[in-house]
Amino acid sequence: MRESLEAGVWRLEVGEPLPEWVVRLDRTAFGSPWKAPSDQEGLWLLPERGFARWTLIPAAAEAELLRIAVDPAHRGSGLGRTLLEACQRDLAAQGIDHLFLEVRVSNASAIALYRTCGWKPCGLRRSYYADGEDAALYALKLS
């Protein structure tokens, strides 16, 4: 039986089906839901309330945050922070020591979340998104 990592956060095990609520929240937050994670990805869950999806590069001890979302009805109450900090601790326990992400420069709530979890800005990709918006790059060293 799988166990909760901390604060109600779980990791989807390899081969486990993608829960329907994740597909719904993925669509609500990003418009286009992704399929079940590949072998190179990890998906962490706060059941019915939030998820975070990462690409894992164990050979380089790196991981990249692909998507994090909290159900709109539960935003602003600390769940994003709970989820991200649980991911950071679990990734560190797996030997990952550098984390990266990119985010739209207009996404103030996500940027606030990353900054409160210790992430530092490390670059900018101009006109990165299809609509011409810039991407801000953030990094976090875990060890």
Ligand X SMILES: CC(C)(COP(=O)(O)OP(=O)(O)OC[C@H]1O[C@@H](n2cnc3c(N)ncnc32)[C@H](O)[C@@H]1OP(=O)(O)O)[C@@H](O)C(=O)NCCC(=O)NCCS
Active site residue 102: yes
Select the residue interacting with ligand X from 9, 22, 46, 79 (CB under 6 A): 79
CB 105 within 8 A of CB 72: no
Among candidate residues 114, 128, 133, 138, the one labeled active-site is 114
Nearer to ligand X, 64 or 90 (CB): 64
DSSP-H helix ranges across 53-107? 79-93
Would you state the structure tokens that stand for residue 123, as one six-digit string? 């670059």
- What is the helix (H) or strand (E) element at residue 134, kind and residue range? none
Residue in this structure with the two tokens 């985010």, named with its chain if needed: 103
- What is the helix (H) or strand (E) element at residue 11, kind and residue range? strand 10-11
Nearer to ligand X, 47 or 95 (CB): 47
Among candidate residues 62, 102, 128, 133, the one labeled active-site is 102
Select the residue interacting with ligand X from 69, 86, 99, 135 (CB under 6 A): 69
| Region near ligand X per CB under 6 A, out of 7-15, 40-48, 78-86, 129-137 | 78-86
Residue 123 CA: distances (Å) to CA of 6, 28, 54, 63: 32, 28, 20, 17
| Region near ligand X per CB under 6 A, out of 9-17, 39-47, 100-108, 118-126 | 100-108
Active site residue 16: no
Just list the catalytic residues.
102, 114
